[in-house]
Chains A and B, each alone.
Chain A
Amino acid sequence: MDAARTPVFRRLGPVAWRGVLALFIAGPIAWAMLYALAYSLGGVGRLSSGWTTEHWRNAFVAPGIMGAFAYSVVIALIVTTLVVLITLGMLLSFPSIRHNRAFLLMVIVLMGTPSLVLAQMVGNTLGQGGWLSRLSYHAGLIETAGDFPALVNDRLHVGMTISLSLSLLPLVLLYFSQLWGALRLDRCCDLAQSLGASRLDARLRVALPMLIWRGKSMMMLLFILTIGSYEVPLLLGRQSPQMFSVATQRLASGFDLSRKPQAYVLAILYLVCTSLALMLYIRGKSADA
């Protein structure tokens, strides 16, 4: 029989653990979804005048809302791609970095640094009035802070992308490092080389496809984590378009109370989008297993 049928846990019973999951974990999320749906349809709310699809119709023509949807997806894709590329680039170029103490220390410290503080540090360092700008001033490269390129709250999202990537990088680095060992890629590359492949060929044609194939569910997880990020886009992002969470919070607590239901339209869009991505992630994981 399977491991779950041991006496220690038998008493919990199938009802108990399912109950915990359903009531304690799924319950609040389901409530959140239903509440958001009811609010967005005018069924709830102090200023609501009854059930209506008006807020949904307005949401689809309001640039801020559909912009937030498209923008969040694009940023999540960019960050996911960037983080995976950096990780794979590092591992394929320097596989032994996995055992480097300085590297491990950096990964661990970065992992312990919350994204909120990362955003603050990126702002302090890369902002137009930040430390690099001040160094450039002292080095005679610029004359005023305004001469330093805008890297925070900027059009190209440089500061935000760096900050989001840094917050996810340790997780991905550790995952792929672990995968490298688990797949015995060192041996595979050695074998390929002993059969005549060059070192580059061995890494690009043997190690890389295996890492990508086995790491695809992790990429989906990165996408999910990025799309819901709040603190970094709040501090370093542009004012328009905005990420899902920032736009939702802004609409929910803006001057114009009549736009509050639109915040819940955005919340529903986010929850549906995340749920679908999660399904793909779990399906991918099951396939890997």
Chain B
Amino acid sequence: MHEHVPPSRVLHCARTRSWSRLAGGVALAIFAVPYLLLLWLSLGSGWSYPNLGPDRVDFRPWQAFASEGNSLLRGALTAGLLSPCVATFATLVGLLVGRQVQTHRGVWMYVAYLPFACSPVIIGLCLLDLFIRLGLASSLAGVFLIQSVFASAFAVILFSELWSPEIGRLERVVQTLGGSQWQMWRHAVWPRLWKLMLVCWLQTLLFSWLDYGLVSTIGGGIVPSLTLGVIAYVREASMNQAAQAAIVLIVPPVLVMLLIGGVMQGRVPEGRIDA
């Protein structure tokens, strides 16, 4: 294992590493520009050509955001309430159904993938009539339900793809040794599954938080939404408000992704994410 490495190679490796760090730093700086620009634009009003930043740094978009009855704030609060409910429901459906799908692939796998592969806008458009008939259109309950369909499909796929057969074996061991249902869950399933459940919960939370197609069609503009605000501001060329709305929209997902990265980092054997 401890082979001799010539000094020239050590020097070469050190140089390569420092170049790699430099390249990484430069790439990171370029990558950060659009994000920083978004933040900068959100701090002021106007963006006349050829100014690089807003014409006036007066924090007006943020003041408007914090003002009473602001639709973006209501959108953020609604999404903040809705997305954990969708995520919890979908994770439970995924947990209970995903494992079954893994063992009964074929048509059921296809069914699970269907919503995942379909455009939410098109499905929302085609389902609006049904939701109106059910009295669920333009309501939080309706948006919860339709987002849950898509999020649950995603959760089912995630659990069916990543379920480890090892859990089943452990369950049988606990059972053989006389363990109760609770002990089996506590000692065999939970330790193997909690990370996958967390990842699924966070991913479905993100799906709901970032959804545009379903909330715009089934919510009909009556269920407030951040994504609707971003699209409206971009299309009306209100650059500062659009930037501010985008910041509010992306901060939670980026944090969630960093959290997922932290959860998965260093604990996943290469080639397998079996939690």
Q: B200 in the interface, Cβ–Cβ < 8 Å? A: no
Contacts of B172 in A (CB 8 A): 6
Contacts of A279 in B (CB 8 A): 110
Contacts of B175 in A (CB 8 A): 6-7
B1-49 at interface with A (beta carbon < 8 Å): 20-21, 24-25, 27-28, 31, 33-35, 37-38, 41, 49
Contacts of B73 in A (CB 8 A): none
Chain B residue with Cβ nearest A9: B99
**Residues B231 and A21 in contact, CB atoms below 8 Å apart:** no
Chain A residue with Cβ nearest B124: A32
**Residues B181 and A182 in contact, CB atoms below 8 Å apart:** no
Report the interface size class on chain B.
35 or more
Q: A24 in the interface, Cβ–Cβ < 8 Å? A: yes
Contacts of B113 in A (CB 8 A): 278, 281-282
Q: How far is the CB of B127 from chain A (nearest CB, A)?
A: 5
Q: A178 in the interface, Cβ–Cβ < 8 Å? A: yes
**Residues B24 and A102 in contact, CB atoms below 8 Å apart:** yes
Contacts of A230 in B (CB 8 A): 119-121, 212-213
**Once the chains are docked, how many angstroms separate the CA of A159 from the CA of B92?**
39
CB < 8 Å: which of B100, B117, B165 contacts A274? B117
State whether A36 and B110 are in contact (beta carbons under 8 Å apart), knowing that A3-B163, A28-B149, A114-B210 are contacts in the complex: no
Known interface pairs A9-B96, A36-B126, A230-B119; 20 further A-B residue pairs with C-beta atoms within 8 A, sorted by A's residue number: A4-B103, A6-B168, A7-B171, A25-B115, A29-B115, A32-B123, A100-B20, A108-B258, A109-B31, A112-B256, A117-B250, A135-B52, A178-B270, A183-B271, A231-B212, A263-B125, A267-B122, A267-B126, A271-B122, A277-B117
Contacts of B97 in A (CB 8 A): 17, 20-21
Identify which of B118, B171, B270 gathers the most chain A CB atoms within 10 Å of its CB: B118
CB < 8 Å: which of A24, A109, A182, A229 contacts B257? A109
CB < 8 Å: which of B109, B171, B246, B261 contacts A108? B261
**Residues B234 and A235 in contact, CB atoms below 8 Å apart:** yes
**Once the chains are docked, how many angstroms separate the CA of A277 from the CA of B110?**
11
CB < 8 Å: which of B31, B49, B239, B257 contacts A145? B49
Give chain A's interface secondary structure class. helix
Q: A56 in the interface, Cβ–Cβ < 8 Å? A: no
A contact set with B: CB distance below 8 Å: 2-4, 6-9, 12, 14, 17-18, 20-22, 24-26, 28-29, 31-33, 35-36, 44, 96, 100-106, 108-114, 116-117, 119-125, 129, 131, 133-135, 137-138, 145, 178-179, 181-184, 224-225, 228-231, 234-235, 244-245, 248-249, 252, 263-264, 267, 270-271, 274-275, 277-279, 281-282, 286
**Residues A112 and B33 in contact, CB atoms below 8 Å apart:** no
Q: How far is the CB of A173 from chain B (nearest CB, A)?
A: 13
CB < 8 Å: which of A3, A106, A131, A138 contacts B99? A3
Chain B residue with Cβ nearest A182: B271
**Once the chains are docked, how many angstroms separate the CA of A36 from the CA of B243?**
36
State whether A178 and B126 are in contact (beta carbons under 8 Å apart), knowing that A114-B250, A230-B119, A282-B113 are contacts in the complex: no
CB < 8 Å: which of A8, A17, A18 contacts B184? A8
Chain B residue with Cβ nearest A44: B129
**Residues B37 and A125 in contact, CB atoms below 8 Å apart:** yes
B112-149 at interface with A (beta carbon < 8 Å): 112-115, 117-123, 125-127, 129-130, 146, 148-149
CB < 8 Å: which of A18, A116, A122, A286 contacts B212? A116
**Residues B270 and A182 in contact, CB atoms below 8 Å apart:** yes
State whether A275 and B122 are in contact (beta carbons under 8 Å apart), knowing that A35-B130, A101-B24, A182-B271 are contacts in the complex: no
Q: How far is the CB of A59 from chain B (nearest CB, A)?
A: 15
**Residues A106 and B27 in contact, CB atoms below 8 Å apart:** yes
Q: B197 in the interface, Cβ–Cβ < 8 Å? A: no
Chain A residue with Cβ nearest B239: A124
Contacts of B231 in A (CB 8 A): 116, 231, 234-235
Chain A residue with Cβ nearest B126: A32
Contacts of A7 in B (CB 8 A): 171, 175, 181, 184
Chain A residue with Cβ nearest B95: A9
**Residues A137 and B258 in contact, CB atoms below 8 Å apart:** no
Contacts of B255 in A (CB 8 A): 112
**Residues B271 and A178 in contact, CB atoms below 8 Å apart:** yes
Q: Could you name 8 residue pairs across A and B whose Cβ atoms are closer than 8 Å? A: A6-B184, A8-B189, A9-B96, A21-B111, A25-B149, A109-B254, A181-B271, A249-B125
Q: B84 in the interface, Cβ–Cβ < 8 Å? A: no
**Residues B28 and A106 in contact, CB atoms below 8 Å apart:** yes
Contacts of A109 in B (CB 8 A): 31, 35, 254, 257-258
Contacts of B34 in A (CB 8 A): 121-122, 124-125, 131
**Residues A244 and B119 in contact, CB atoms below 8 Å apart:** yes
**Once the chains are docked, how many angstroms separate the CA of A230 from the CA of B117?**
13
CB < 8 Å: which of A25, A35, A133, A228 contacts B153? A25
